[in-house]
Structure formats: structure tokens, C-alpha cells
Amino acid sequence: MSLDVGALLLETVPFARTLGIVYDAVGEGRAVCHVPDRDAQRNHVGGPHAGVLFTLAESASGAAVLSLFGDQLDRAVPLPTTATIAYRKVALGEIRAEARVLAGREEVVARLDAGERPVFDVAVDLTNGDGTVVSSLTVTWTLRPNRPATT
């Protein structure tokens, strides 16, 4: 199954389009995306608002998840369940997010095959233009098995 994850997310998640998120690279449990520096999205110290940073990171984590488990969409829905964020430095300018799934595909799919609802983490680093890490997140995801159709 060939899936253009970035295009899918921009089509199905209008807020990602609103923020101007650009998906730069997606594949094999990893995703890189960025958000341009826009006056309307800045906070009181001149950088992107915390909501922009969180949304960028969560969007990158979702792309990483879909790149690894997109072929499971016919039987499970990927959903974030929790997230923690550490704001490390003031973010300024264009911000880049790099996400990576911390679980092995085989283990997660095996748990899904066993009728379980797998839970796994995705780590995301946000960096500014010079590569300084400005925020780090861990987003916990699950693959919720689809409910059987009722007749």
C-alpha cells in the first residue's frame, strides 16, 4: 500500500493546513515537518505560540505513526492518548519537528493480531533554524481496533 501521509493529513486535518504545516519527509516510523514563521502565530515573546509548537509536534507524531501502521487502517484507528511537552528554550523563527516511533512494528502488529489495543510512544524534538532543540515531546498512541459492524 502506497500512502502519501503528508497529503492525507493535510486533506483530513484542516488545522494542519491552517497552521501551514509542511511535511518534508515521512517514512518507516519517522516524520519531519516544519511550520513557517508567521506573525499571526506568535506569542508575547515573539516566537510561535505554544499551541503551534504542540500541534506541529503532534502532527509529526501522527505522520510517523501512519508511515509505520498505515496498512492497518482497515482494522484499527490510530489515536493519541496522552502527550507530555517540555519547553526548553524560546522558539523563534521557522520550527522543525522530527518524530520517531519508539516501538517495533512487529510487536505492535502482533498485539493487534492478538486482539489487544497496542499502546506505544512517539518521541518528537522541535528545533529552531540553527538546530537548537526548543521543545521535546512524548506522544503516546494506540491502535484502537475497529468495532464490528452491527446489522
Write the pLDDT tens digit of every residue in 75-102: 999 999 999 999 999 999 999 999 999 9
Total-model pTM = 0.94
Count of all residues that appear for the chain in the document: 151
Of 122, 29, 99, 12, nearest to 67 by C-alpha is 29
Query: Is residue 151 a part of any domain in this protein?
Result: no
Query: Is residue 72 a part of any domain in this protein?
Result: yes
Residue 148: predicted pLDDT: 77
CB 147 within 8 A of CB 129: no
| Structural domain range at position 128 | 5-145
CB 145 within 8 A of CB 117: yes
Query: pLDDT tens across 10-35, in order?
Result: 999 999 999 999 999 999 999 999 99
Query: Is residue 150 a part of any domain in this protein?
Result: no
CB 36 within 8 A of CB 94: yes
Res 1 pLDDT > 60:
no
Distances in whole angstroms, Cα of residue 120 to Cα of each of 59, 64, 74, 105 = 16, 12, 19, 10
Report the percent of the chain where pLDDT is more than 70: 97
The CATH number linked to 51 is: 3.10.129.10
Res 2 pLDDT > 70:
no
How many domains are there within the chain? 1
Distances in whole angstroms, Cα of residue 87 to Cα of each of 23, 53, 135, 138, 143 = 22, 9, 5, 12, 28
Res 126 pLDDT > 60:
yes
Residue 150: predicted pLDDT: 67
Say which residues have a Cβ less than 8 Å from residue 19's Cβ, sequence separation at least 6. Answer: 35, 41, 52, 55, 56
Residue 22: predicted pLDDT: 97
Residue 3: predicted pLDDT: 77
Query: Is residue 113 a part of any domain in this protein?
Result: yes
Using DSSP, state whether 54 is helix, strand or coil. Answer: helix
